[in-house]
Each structure stands twice: as structure tokens, then as C-alpha cells.
Amino acid sequence: MDRVRPLEGKTAIVTGASQGIGRGIALCLGRAGAQVVVNYLDDSAAASSVVEEIERAGGAAVAIQADVTKRADAERLVARTVDAFGTIDILVNNAGTGLSKPFAEFTEADWDLLIEVDLKSVFLCCQAAGAVMRRQGSGAIINIASVAAKLALPYRTVYSTIKAGVMMFTASLATEWAPHHIRVNCIAPGTILTPLVEKNFATGSLEPDKVLDRTPLRRFGEPEEIGQAVVFLASDAAAYITGQTLAVDGGWSIWGGWTPEQALREMP
């Protein structure tokens, strides 16, 4: 495998790619040689900035507006991608939203919003892009979930449930589409320094010191660290990997609660 540009000549769609984790993923795919479709909902300036950064680095990219919670938009996104680059080799379902609040205060509208953005969009984009991938007999799909999908957290009952749905969707679809040589995998990010996380730090809804205390590597993740994991899962280096969820979280999801120093003190 070309270690510098392992995705040379491949075409990738990244949903929700104008900022945050999606932006980091798009930039990494571009550096890896992929032609990147930067999907966005309403911030055309931010999406154009991502395209320009990819192009400055010698890559090819185009921004395409689409509300991926709507079937017509998801299908248009795929059609315009094929018009621009001829095919689709990689789909990254990154578009998402979060909401933390007491379950008793959750409204039906809150539920519908999270279902549509975090799960329905994955369903629609996989159906639309998958039609192209099945015809060509190859493809790689990477869905973005969360460490909250596997661990119970207060005030995230709905979000965690839906992200767990993304993980099972990934595993099930991987078994169904394996005969078409389409691999489907998932990434579960931990606390990544995105504009939303930084806003949560500023408002006090997320306490940085407590997150770091709970993270063995004692730092936050960067969006492009999720992007690097996406590049790996989309590349031939991961050709025998499908149906899996990769946690990229600094060890947050596996930590047993003791620091190395505490563990030594607790030894008999």
C-alpha cells in the first residue's frame, strides 16, 4: 500500500463535513489522495474553506449542499458525486447532532430530531451510495457513532440509544453487503476538540478536568485523529476488516478507574 496516498484515485463522500470531526475527516481523506465531496447543510462558506484547503494541498474536492435526513437530498448528493467524479468508493456518515437533558424532559420533537440526524441519515445515505457500490462490486462505508453507544451516561439516554443503533446497523449491513465486497465499519470517538465541545467547556455543560481525569492518555482528541482512523478503514490496509467499531477515545471506554499510581498502592 502507498503509505503516503493510500486512497489515490478513490472518491469519498463525507456528510456534515464543513466543521468539526467531518472537516478533519475530509482533510485527511484529501491528503490520502481521495477526491472528496464535502457535504454541508447550511454553512457554504465553511464547506468552501474545506474544499480550498484540500485543493491547496494538491487534492480535488467539491462542496455539495444536501440535507441528508431527506431521501431526495441524499439521492441528489450521490448523483452529483457521480457526475463530478464518476463513482463512489467511500462513504463516511458523519452528520450528527447531540442533546443532553433529563429523560423526563425529552420531547417527541427532540427524539425525532436525533433519530433523523443521527440514524435516518445513515440509512438514507447507505441506500443511495450503496446502489452505486453494489453495481461496481466494491466500496467502504464508515459510520461515526460515539463512545456513549456502549456505556450508560446520565442525560444521554436517547443519544446513547441511537448511537448504539448506528453500531448495530453497521454490523448487520456489513454481513449483508459482504458478498458485494462492500466493507462497513464504525468509529466511536471520545471527547474530540471540536467547536461544539469547546462551547460545552465554555458553558460548563462539560468539565474538561473531569474528562481528562477519566482518559488514560490524559488529553483530548483532535478531529484529524478521527480522520486518520477513517483513512485506515477506507484503505486496503483494512481489507479484511468489516462490521467492526473502532473506539478512538484515548482509552476512555476501557478505563477501570485506577491510575497507575493507584493501582500500585492497591496491590497486596
Catalytic sites, residue numbers: 159
Nearest to 240 by CA among 167, 185, 176, 172: 185
Would you tell me the crossing angle of helices 121-136 and 157-177 to the nearest 10 degrees? 10
Q: Which contiguous run of DSSP H or E holds residue 166?
A: helix 157-177
C-beta atoms surrounding 156 within 10 Å? 20
C-beta atoms surrounding 198 within 10 Å? 14
The three-class DSSP label of residue 61 is strand
Please name the residues in contact with 52: beta carbons below 8 A apart, sequence gap of 6 or more.
Answer: none
Beta strands in the chain (DSSP E): 11-14, 35-40, 61-65, 90-93, 139-144, 182-189, 245-248
- Per the listing, cell 486496503 goes with 236
Nearest to 166 by CA among 39, 15, 46, 65: 15
The three-class DSSP label of residue 39 is strand
C-alpha span between 209 and 227 (Å, rounded):
25
